[in-house]
Amino acid sequence: MNNIQIKLNGEWREVEISPGMRLLDLLRDELKLTGTKEGCGEGECGVCSVIMNGHLVNACLVMAFQAEKAEVLTIEGLKQSGEFDPIQQAFIDIGAVQCGFCTPGMIMAGKALLLQNPKPTREEIRRGISGNLCRCTGYEKIVEAIENASKR
């Protein structure tokens, strides 16, 4: 057991971690930030996507100790003063949500994309979320929602 400092959703925190703990376990099991999901445990499905130091990562592939001094943004940190992030709002308005299990990761992938490329083309959006699987929507409304958010 040892402690790490992590800036989580805008707030510096000191958290206890154990050997072998993944960032995903830290978020879910320890901090009960369960918006970040687990779907495959090997970086293929993207439902555990979070933004770490400005980059999209799979929290199942990052060890907790690697998050030392890192800035981590999860789905729970997107709402600002009670207002949905434009991507969240676009997902709601456009109906890009079905079963919802991929939704937090998908929104984080969209967020990471827009941070780096505020006006992406549809092709760039598709590439940006290509590491995130969705079994319900065929991605169509998700692409539309991210494009819509980029114009808000």
Contact residues: another protein, CB under 8 A: 20, 28-29, 32-42, 44-45, 47, 74-76, 78-79, 84, 88-89, 91-93, 95, 97-104, 107, 122, 125-127, 129-143
The HSE-up count of residue 139 (CA atoms within 13 Å, CB side) is: 16
CB of 16 to another protein, least distance (A): 15
Q: Report which DSSP code applies to 87.
A: H
The nearer residue to another protein, 69 or 99, going by C-beta atoms, is 99
Question: Any idea which residue has 């402690």 for tokens?
Answer: 3
Residue type at position 140: E
Least Cβ distance, residue 33 to another protein (angstroms): 8
CB closer to another protein out of 2 and 5: 2
* DSSP secondary structure code for residue 152 in this structure: -
- Distance spanning both ends of the chain, measured CA to CA: 45
Nearer to another protein, 33 or 62 (CB): 33
